[in-house]
Amino acid sequence: MRQIIPIKKGIKRLCLFLAASLLFSSPALSKDTFKIGGVFSVTGRASFLGDPEKKSMEMLVNQINAKGGIDGRLLEAVIYDTEGDPQKTVNAVSKLINKDQVIAIIGPSLTPTTLAVVPFAERSKTLLISCAAGILITEPVKPWVFKTAQSDALAVASIYQHMKAQGIKKAAILSVSDAFGESGKQQLEKQADAYGITVIRSETFGAGDTDMTPQLTKIRKENPEAIICWGTNPGPAVVAKNVKQLGLQIPLYQSHGVASPKFIELASDAAEGIYLPTGKILVADLLPDNDPQKPVLQNYIKEFESRYNMPVSGFGGYAYDAVRMLAEALKGSNGDKEKVRAALEEMKGFVGVSGVFSFSKTEHNGLSPDAFVMVQIRNNTWELIR
Amino acid sequence: MQEILQYLFSGITNGAIYAVIAVGFSMLYNSTELINFAHGEFVMLGGLGIVTLWGGSLLPLPAAFVLTVIGVAFVGFLLERVALRKVSRSQPIVLVIITIGASIFLRGIGMLIWGKDAHAIPSFTKLSPMDVFGAKLMPQSILILAIVLLVVVGLHLFYRKTLTGKAMQACAINEKAAWLSGIPSDQMVLLAFFLSAGIGAIAGIIIAPITMCGYDMGILLGLKGFCAAMLGGLGSLWGSLVGGLLLGISESLGVGYVSSSLKDAIAFLVLLLILYIRPTGILGIKEAKRF
């Protein structure tokens, strides 16, 4: 093929074309969008968190844009994968702040990765709305850091409220020896006094242990009125089995770490009668109609499941809430970072998937214990306790 | 009384499982002087195999049991034939590293087939726990103990009474001499891998109902089984049994009377102490490689 257009003419045409494209450039580009960032552990060990979070964020950004965006400006999401690695998260967040120059960042998915990037968000005065649960993220409060996931402390409070109502005064703790179990144990021991409960024995088990009978035998000797087990699958299912085998006739409480159908499948018959706190998404259909979260939850479940054709989890809800609140805070801000931050901090009574958020200068998680509901496992399914 | 019995029941059940795993290590070491770090993965394959075949109600229990054991034994067979045979004249350290590689490979395969989640199956018997002086004894525990004894006695008879068993032992004592007297030593090594993997699968099957099976269960169980084998004396069948039970009981008593967070530390302390006093293990003979 031969070049037909002479080079000089070609350059002239190119210049014309460029000038035209500058004149008629689409509004979806450059300054006319709100650029927001996302950092989630989309792959790797914690992909069960990051994957639904990324999907929820994309879904919501599409929906907002389909309705014409915010104040006539479209949202533009830049999402990076952290693989659950703090170093990669730091790189991704630096890129979002310096190269992409986003207004706010949603994520990361994990407590360690969030803590690694908190200083960067603070220094660059970029809003960070984390999807991780660790209480250290928002305690002490950092001006630019918020989070949407419920803290362990709230789950502990729900359990203790239920125990108090049952008149239980002596409890024993059996927790897994990893970061999740350790954090749960600390909260359980810290809050016990406030509910008039004494922790009479605290035992641990390894994440891969096959038999917890010795720990339970030791606990039984102290005659507790209830046992609280704090861990993630499969350990707590073994504990449930062992409790049943030993014939212990006292209530067993589990943490929200096992609030999934998988736990019932693993523990099968032994799951019967167990109490646990869970985010409302697991029991959305069972909630009373006057629960303010019910329509939000049902809406989210319907949208997510029809779009991605996979079962919804509470984790995606963390990102869903974060984007919705950010969109609310962006209204009328004209993209001014400080205005967005202030609007978020003043937000009260925002009904989300994970709970009702009310932020203030001293509270950047914004949830209360009623973000959790207590459920009991009966006939292989969840039953709401009122 | 009630407590100590309960600790003992729990310790003996776990110990019996460690013992089966230890027997697998020991018999392979006997025939090949090789420590197979992929042995824990045979346990995993056994556990997950029974989860699929019986838990998925594809087959009745006895058929699922036999099929799982033979299937996993065949994996052991392949490991020797495909990965180890090619370098069998190589240094032991190379072979050991190959087995470590094989364990990572098998774990990856397990994760692909069965996913990252754990799986559970019901107990083999429908009987409820028995009450012995206030302590609960699971029917599954008795079953486990019976199977362990059956495996150890069976192997003992195999080595003492059958020609193949004797030939295997001859290979272990002196491979070259055995070869000169007409024993096909290559086949004996192959058989040893086959049997050892099958025994690993048995351990996985009997542990499946009392705990949860996941693709990564082999790491810890393999380590515990290896400890039990060292404790009893590597290469000794009865030593593996004693070592396994001792490890299981010291773990459970450690939880009961010291601290649950020190559970593994206590077990390994016992191992260190015994190896310090008796480097060949409790029942190990001087060179720690003969019956």
pLDDT (tens digit, 9 = 90+) per residue, A130-165?
999 888 899 889 999 999 999 889 999 999 999 999
**Residues within 8 A of B (CB atoms), A 173-192 only:** 177
Dmax (CA) for chain B in angstroms is 60
B284 CB-side CA count, 13 A: 25
Q: Which of A218, A206, A212 shows the shortest CA–CA distance to A270?
A: A212
Give the CA distances from residue A348 to residues A71, A93, A315, A364, in Å, rounded to whole numbers and listed in that order: 21, 28, 22, 11
Whole-number Å distance between alpha carbons of A175 and A152: 13
Q: Which residues of A131-154 are buried (b: 16+ CB within 10 A; e: fewer)?
A: bbbbbebbeebeebbbbbbbbbbb
Q: Which residues of A touch B7 (CB under 8 A)?
A: 214, 217
User: Which residue in chain A has the smallest CA separation from B257?
Assistant: A218
Q: What is the pLDDT of residue A27?
A: 41
Query: With an 8 Å Cβ cutoff, are A214 and B9 in contact?
Result: no
Chain B residues with CB-CB distance to A241 below 8 A: 210
> What ipTM does this complex have?
0.83
A-chain residues within 8 Å CB-CB of B263? Answer: 205-206, 209
Domains for chain A: give ranges and CATH numbers. 31-151+294-368 (3.40.50.2300), 153-284+372-384 (3.40.50.2300)
Per-residue model confidence as pLDDT tens digits over B57-73: 888 989 999 999 999 99
Exposed / middle / buried, residue B91 (Cβ in 10 Å: 0-12, 13-18, 19+): exposed
Contact A257, A230 (CB under 8 A): yes
Alpha carbons A305 and A244: distance in angstroms, whole number: 36
Low pLDDT (below 50) residues in chain A: 1-3, 22-30
Q: Which helix (H) or strand (E) holds A264?
A: helix A261-267
pLDDT of the residue at A28: 42
3 state DSSP class of A375: strand
Chain A residues within an 8 Å CB radius of B261:
177, 204
CB contact set of B269 (below 8 Å; sequence gap of 6+): none
Residue A101: predicted pLDDT: 93
Residues of A in contact with B211 (CB under 8 A): 210-211, 234, 238
Q: How far is CA A117 from the centre of its chain?
A: 17
Q: Tell me how far apart the alpha carbons of residues A96 and A298 are, in angstroms, rounded to a whole number.
A: 33
The confidence score (pLDDT) of residue B235 equals 81
Residue B215: closest C-alpha in chain A: A208
Is residue A324 a contact partner of residue A311, using CB atoms and an 8 Å limit?
no
Contact present, A172 and A219 (Cβ < 8 Å): yes
| Torsion, Cα of A81, A86, A88, A94 (10° steps) | 100
- Closest to A328 (Cα-Cα) out of A127, A52, A142, A109: A127
Can you give the residue ranges of every domain in chain B?
2-218
Q: Do A213 and B216 touch (CB under 8 A)?
A: no
* Cβ atoms of B152 and B241 closer than 8 Å: yes
The pLDDT assigned to B171 comes to 83
Closest approach of B211 to chain A, Cα-based (Å): 5
pLDDT in tens, chain B (291 residues): 788 899 999 999 999 999 999 999 988 888 777 889 999 999 999 999 999 999 888 889 899 999 999 999 999 999 988 888 877 666 778 888 899 999 999 999 998 999 878 888 888 887 888 888 888 888 888 999 999 999 999 999 998 899 998 888 888 788 788 889 888 888 888 999 999 999 999 999 999 988 889 888 998 899 899 989 988 888 888 999 999 999 999 999 988 888 888 888 887 888 888 888 887 777 776 554 444
Measured between CA atoms, how close is B143 to chain A, in angstroms? 16
> Distances in Å between the alpha carbon of A380 and those of A288, A376, B7, B115, B272?
21, 10, 31, 23, 46
| Cross-chain CB nearest to B214 (options A177, A234, A241) | A234
